[in-house]
Amino acid sequence: MYAVEVRDHIMIAHSFKGEMFGPAQQLHGATFVVDVAFFRENLSANDVVVDIGRATDTLKEILKPLNYKNLDELPQFKGKQTTTETLSHYVFDQMVDALKNGVLGEESNGVSRIRVTLHESHVARAWFEGPVERA
């Protein structure tokens, strides 16, 4: 299995609902350093997993609507908890959509799995990994 992983980051505000979150129920924030890994069994005709330039640009586009925002006020997260876990899944879903819509180009056609990791500090991170299901 081959993989390629690219990195970007966002700086956001948010808060959580539920006693379990303790002080994180207050409005606070985070820098999320975001890694997206693309997996596939065999390489493309050009011997790559993805066009790394397109993968990087697509990640930036996906993160843009979140960057420098208070996630509590964004419609796509209304009524939802924006934990590091759910945000990992959110970026995963967006990247799968981009992949299916051809935004990453022909080179990425064989990508079969994606993993999105959000590093929230030097001592904690979360990720979501799943298959890219095609019709």
Q: Scanning the structure block, which residue is given the tokens 């995963």? A: 92
The DSSP-derived string for 13-62 is EE---SGGGGGGGSSEEEEEEEEEEEEESS--TTS-SS-HHHHHHHHHHH
Q: Is there binding between residue 76 and a copy of itself (CB under 8 A)?
A: no
Q: Is there binding between residue 49 and a copy of itself (CB under 8 A)?
A: yes
| Shortest reach from residue 99's CB to a copy of itself, in Å | 16
Q: Is there binding between residue 8 and a copy of itself (CB under 8 A)?
A: yes
> Binding marks (x or -) toward a copy of itself, 111..130, rule CB under 8 A?
---------xxxxxxxxxxx
* Tally of CA atoms within 13 A in the half-sphere of 79 that contains its CB: 0
Distance of CA 54 to the CA centre of its chain: 15
Helices 84-100 and 52-63 cross at an angle (nearest 10°) of 130
Q: Which is nearer to a copy of itself, 23 or 101 (CB)?
A: 23
Q: Interaction with a copy of itself in 79-98: which residues (CB under 8 A)?
A: 80-81, 83-86, 88-89
Q: Which residues bind a copy of itself (CB under 8 A)?
A: 1-9, 11-14, 16, 18, 20-24, 26-33, 43, 46-49, 51-53, 56, 67-70, 80-81, 83-86, 88-89, 105, 107, 120-130
